[in-house]
């Protein structure tokens, strides 16, 4: 199985590609960098269902910090003014960082359905819906970016499930558990 470092490095490299591509398609550099950053974060999202350890702490820490940033426009709308938006941002951080990790730890199993193509689509849809913009292209860029990062994680997990032993190819017990449409868990 690929380690946290490989997942983050791969998704960040893809994020650079998304950034450059977005700028080439006419998005502003700020929008491109934001989409690239979201792509990088998307590469570690499937590990939100890990039992414990560094990936869970870091993923929830980063996700909790980025959620209010990505939702800034929505929080301004919902909060009514700057103070209300700041309060909602702090509440969003606390809910995602502590409530989300606790709830997911209770409900999810590692390499369960959160490591799947439907979960990737849901992450993309949440990014699309959560990013407030009048431009559908911008919302699509954010949703696509997170899905590219998410998919890189799934593909790396599948690549690392192949073992080479003396020229013989063998699949380990995790083979097929990342890129799936359905699962028992």
Q: How far apart are CA 60 and CA 47, in angstroms?
A: 10
pLDDT at 175: 56
For the chain, strand residue ranges (E) read 162-165, 168-171
pLDDT at 114: 75
In a domain, 57, yes or no: yes
Give the total number of structural domains in the chain: 1
pLDDT at 58: 78
pLDDT at 113: 72
In a domain, 184, yes or no: no
pLDDT at 121: 95
In a domain, 82, yes or no: yes
| pTM assigned to the model | 0.74
In a domain, 177, yes or no: no
In a domain, 183, yes or no: no
In a domain, 42, yes or no: yes
C-beta of residue 1 within 8 angstroms of C-beta of residue 157 = yes
What does the pLDDT look like over 69-112, one tens digit per residue?
Answer: 888 888 999 999 999 999 999 999 999 888 887 887 777 666 66
C-beta of residue 173 within 8 angstroms of C-beta of residue 157 = no
Q: CA gyration radius for the chain?
A: 17
**Residue 183 zone, left/alpha/beta (φ > 0; ψ -120 to 50; rest):** beta
Q: Which domain holds residue 139?
A: 4-171
């Amino acid at each position: 199985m690929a380690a946290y470092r490989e997942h983050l490095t791969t998704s960040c490299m893809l994020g650079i590609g998304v950034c450059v591509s977005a700028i080439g398609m006419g998005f502003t550099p700020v929008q491109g960098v934001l989409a690239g950053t979201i792509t990088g974060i998307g590469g570690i999202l499937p590990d939100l269902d890990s039992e414990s350890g560094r990936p869970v702490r870091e993923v929830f820490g980063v996700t909790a910090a980025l959620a209010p940033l990505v939702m800034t426009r929505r929080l301004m709308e919902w909060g009514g003014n700057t103070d209300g938006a700041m309060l909602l941002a702090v509440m969003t951080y606390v809910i995602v960082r502590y409530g989300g990790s606790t709830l997911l730890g209770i409900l999810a199993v590692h390499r369960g359905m959160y490591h799947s193509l439907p979960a990737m689509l849901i992450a993309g849809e949440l990014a699309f819906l959560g990013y407030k913009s009048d431009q559908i292209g911008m919302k699509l860029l954010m949703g696509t970016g997170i899905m590219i990062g998410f998919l890189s994680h799934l593909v790396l997990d599948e690549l690392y499930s192949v073992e080479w032993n003396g020229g013989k190819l063998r699949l380990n017990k995790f083979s097929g558990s990342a890129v799936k449409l359905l699962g028992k868990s």
